[in-house]
Amino acid sequence: CRISSDGKPAKFQPPPKPVIIDKQKQREEKRFLSPEFIPPRGRIDPLKLFLERKDMIQRRKVFNIPEFYVGHILAVTTADPYANNKTNRFVGICIQRGGKGLGATFVLRNVIEDQGVEICYELYSPRIQAIEVLKLEKRLDDNLMYLRDALPEYSTFDMNMKPVSHLDHEEIPVNKLQVRMKPKPWSKRWERPKYNVKGIKFELPEGKMREAQKWSQPWLEFDMMREYDTSKIEEKIWKEVSEELKK
C-alpha cells in the first residue's frame, strides 16, 4: 500500500492494459498472392483468366502449394513411371518463377556429384505429389540465373537436408549473400545494368564496370508506357481467391 509524502494514501493508478498480439490477425494482414495469379499485360479475354483461376483454385484445394519465393530451398516429389518406387525426389534452390495461369513453372537448381542439374517443374502439374519448403530465405534478386556462372559451392544442397523450422508470424529473412563468380566468360554479361543483379560480388577491374554502364538505359524507369500497376487487380484477385479457398 503506497503512502505518498503527504501521509494520505496515493491516488489509485490502474494497472497498464495488457497488449494482446493476435497472431491470427497478423497472419491475415500478411497477404501473399502467388505471382501466377496476376494477369499478364495485354489484350486477353478476362473470361479465360477467370476460368484458369477457377482451375488453379480447384487444384490448390486438393494439393497444398506452399508460399515460396526465389531463393527458397524446396524438395519436390513427382510421380515418375520409370523410377523405382515410382516417385522421384529432387532438392534444389528455386532460381526462377515464370509463366502465368496454369502453366506456371519454377526452376530448381542443385549440384550433384560436381554436375549442375536444373529441373523446370510446372506448379499445377498432376504429376507433382508433394512440395516441401526446406529453407525459407529470400535473396537480393528475383532471378538467380547467375548461379550457373557462380562457383558450384553456392548451388550445392544436400539431398537429405532436414527442413529448417520457421515461425509463422516472423518475416521471411533476406539473405544478402554476395556470390563469387567463376572467371569470365559467363553465359550472360551479368555486370550490365540490364540484368540489375545485386547479389554478385564483382571482382572485375574498374574500367570494365564503367564500360558496362555504357549500356545502361536510365530512361526506362520513367517510361510511362511500360508502367503496369497491379495493386488494384491484386486486391480483387486476392479477395476472390481467399474466399474460394475458405469454402
Partner 1 sequence: SITGASRAIQKLTRVRVVDNSALGNTPYHRPPKCIHVYNKTGVGKVGDKILLAIKGEKKKALIVGHKMPGPTMTPRFDSNNVVLIEDNGNPVGTRIKTPIPYILRQREGEFSKVLAIARNFV
Binding residues for partner 1, per CB under 8 A?
78, 80, 82-83, 88, 90, 105, 112-122, 125, 127, 148, 185, 187
Q: Which is nearer to partner 1, 65 or 172 (CB)?
A: 65
Give 175-181 contacts, CB < 8 A, sequence gap 24+: 175/71, 175/137, 175/138, 175/139, 175/140, 176/140, 177/139, 177/140, 179/146, 179/147, 179/150, 179/151, 179/154, 180/150, 180/151, 180/154, 181/146, 181/149, 181/150, 181/151
- In the complex, minimum distance from the CB of residue 148 to partner 1, in angstroms, rounded to a whole number: 7
Angle, alpha carbons 43-32-164 (nearest 5°): 135
Distance in angstroms (rounded) separating the CA atoms of residues 155 and 108: 10
Q: Which is nearer to partner 1, 113 or 170 (CB)?
A: 113
Distance in angstroms (rounded) separating the CA atoms of residues 47 and 215: 41
- In the complex, minimum distance from the CB of residue 152 to partner 1, in angstroms, rounded to a whole number: 9
Residue 23 phi, psi (nearest 5) = -70, -30
Q: Which is nearer to partner 1, 15 or 185 (CB)?
A: 185
Q: Which is nearer to partner 1, 99 or 193 (CB)?
A: 99
Q: Which is nearer to partner 1, 34 or 125 (CB)?
A: 125
- In the complex, minimum distance from the CB of residue 122 to partner 1, in angstroms, rounded to a whole number: 5
Q: Which residues of 166-205 are buried (b: 16+ CB within 10 A; e: fewer)?
A: eeeeeebeeeeeebebeeeeeeeebbeeeeebebbeeeee
Q: Which residue, among 245, 218, 211, 247, has the nearest Cα to 34 in the 3D structure?
A: 245
Q: Which is nearer to partner 1, 147 or 200 (CB)?
A: 147
- In the complex, minimum distance from the CB of residue 193 to partner 1, in angstroms, rounded to a whole number: 21
- In the complex, minimum distance from the CB of residue 90 to partner 1, in angstroms, rounded to a whole number: 7
- In the complex, minimum distance from the CB of residue 210 to partner 1, in angstroms, rounded to a whole number: 24
